[in-house]
């Protein structure tokens, strides 16, 4: 899709990390932006930085009614969403399943699966009617490869991946593209959130290696969106050079 002042890009989780970096990149094309997240101050600061029309939306995407209402009441100039970047999400905890907090599990399911579902369902009828649109979902390598402590987080991202492939299958011929991007380790607020504000623990995740940056993933998001309309990147898996999938583990007694 050619990205221009006639394009509207809706980004969830725009207050931080990939979402904020993607907003900065899309703004260079002059697009109209809808910036959604829960933290209004962050969204307002981002809007002030950007030289394009921005609609700031305080939205907790776990709230099904609020999501439907937010999409249904977008100001006219922002109502025809061309690109939805379904980015908002989180991991909570790294405990083994027998010791994990069920509230954490609920929050990941409610945000990463249900919130992403609600946003997708709200935006699709307009895209299908206009025969124009692109849903870009942010999955994770955690949805593809298992690791200890990845339990429900990885499960939510496996949902994002299969949901994206199913959408792609049923949107065939309707002019709507679907992409899932699956990043590996990236130094954003992700680990700070996962470890509930413990900066020391978050720092150890990226110690002694070079993680991806938010801008690296923003570049991927922007690249898949900017490709000509006849090109659909289905899945894009991206890791830091210093991360790889290590294969099977064996326990010996």
Least Cβ distance, residue 80 to ligand 8X3 (angstroms): 31
Residue placing its CB nearer to ligand NDP in the complex, 10 or 190: 190
Parallel, antiparallel or unpaired: strands 83-86 and 32-37? unpaired
The residue at minimum Cβ distance from ligand 8X3 is 140
CB of 146 to ligand NDP, least distance (A): 15
CA distance 10 to 8: 7
Residue number with CB closer to ligand NDP (84 or 132)? 84
Nearer to ligand 8X3, 133 or 143 (CB): 143
Binding of ligand 8X3 by 185 (CB under 6 A)? yes
Catalytic residue among 118, 145, 147, 153: 153
Q: Does 141 bind ligand 8X3 (CB under 6 A)?
A: yes
Closest by CA to 12, choosing from 53, 73, 48, 56, is 56
Report, in Å, the least distance between residue 143 CB and ligand NDP.
9
Name the pairing type of β-strands 54-58 and 83-86: unpaired
Task: Supply the minimum distance, in Å, between the C-beta of residue 170 and ligand NDP.
Answer: 23
140 part of the interface to ligand 8X3, by CB under 6 A: yes
Supply 129's token pair. Answer: 């009617």
- Tell whether residue 160 is a contact of ligand 8X3 (CB under 6 A): no
If one counts every other C-beta atom within 10 angstroms of the C-beta of residue 51, the result is 8
Q: Quickly list DSSP for 97-124.
A: GGG--HHHHHHHIIIIIIIHHHHHHHHH
Catalytic, 206? Answer no
Interface contacts to ligand NDP, rule CB under 6 A: 12-13, 15-19, 37-39, 42, 59-62, 87-90, 111, 115, 138, 140, 183, 185-186, 188-190, 193
C-beta separation of 145 from 247 below 8 A:
no
Which is nearer to ligand NDP, 132 or 167 (by Cβ)?
A: 167
Least spacing, CB of residue 202 vs ligand 8X3, in Å: 11
| CB proximity list for 100: less than 8 A, separation 6 or greater | 93, 151, 152
Tell me the DSSP string of 33-98: EEEEES-HHHHHHHHHH-SS-EEEEE--TT-HHHHHHHHHT--GGG-S-SEEEE----------GG
* Chain positions contacting ligand 8X3, by CB under 6 A: 140-142, 150, 184-185
User: Which amino acids are annotated catalytic?
Assistant: 153
């Amino acid at each position: 899709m050619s990205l221009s002042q006639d394009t509207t890009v809706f980004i969830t989780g725009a207050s931080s990390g990939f979402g904020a970096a993607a907003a900065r990149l899309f703004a260079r094309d002059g697009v109209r932006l809808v910036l959604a997240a829960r933290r209004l101050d962050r969204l307002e600061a981002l809007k002030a930085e950007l030289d394009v029309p921005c609609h700031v939306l305080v939205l907790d995407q776990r709230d099904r009614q609020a999501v439907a209402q937010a999409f249904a009441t977008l100001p006219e100039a922002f109502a025809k969403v061309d690109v939805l970047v379904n980015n908002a999400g989180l991991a909570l905890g790294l405990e083994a399943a027998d010791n994990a907090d069920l509230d954490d599990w609920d929050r990941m399911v409610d945000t990463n699966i249900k919130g992403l579902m609600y946003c997708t369902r709200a935006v699709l009828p307009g895209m299908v009617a206009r025969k124009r649109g692109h849903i870009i979902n942010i999955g994770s390598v955690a949805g593809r490869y298992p690791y200890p402590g990845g339990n429900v987080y990885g499960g939510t991202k496996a949902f994002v991946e299969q949901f994206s492939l199913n959408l792609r299958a049923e949107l065939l011929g309707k002019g709507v593209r679907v992409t899932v991007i699956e990043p590996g380790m990236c130094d954003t607020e992700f680990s700070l959130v996962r470890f509930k504000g413990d900066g020391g623990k978050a720092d150890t995740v990226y110690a002694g290696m070079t993680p991806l940056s938010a801008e690296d993933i923003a570049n991927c998001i922007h690249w898949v969106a900017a490709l000509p309309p006849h090109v659909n990147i289905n899945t894009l898996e991206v890791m830091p050079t210093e991360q790889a999938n290590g294969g099977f583990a064996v326990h010996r007694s």
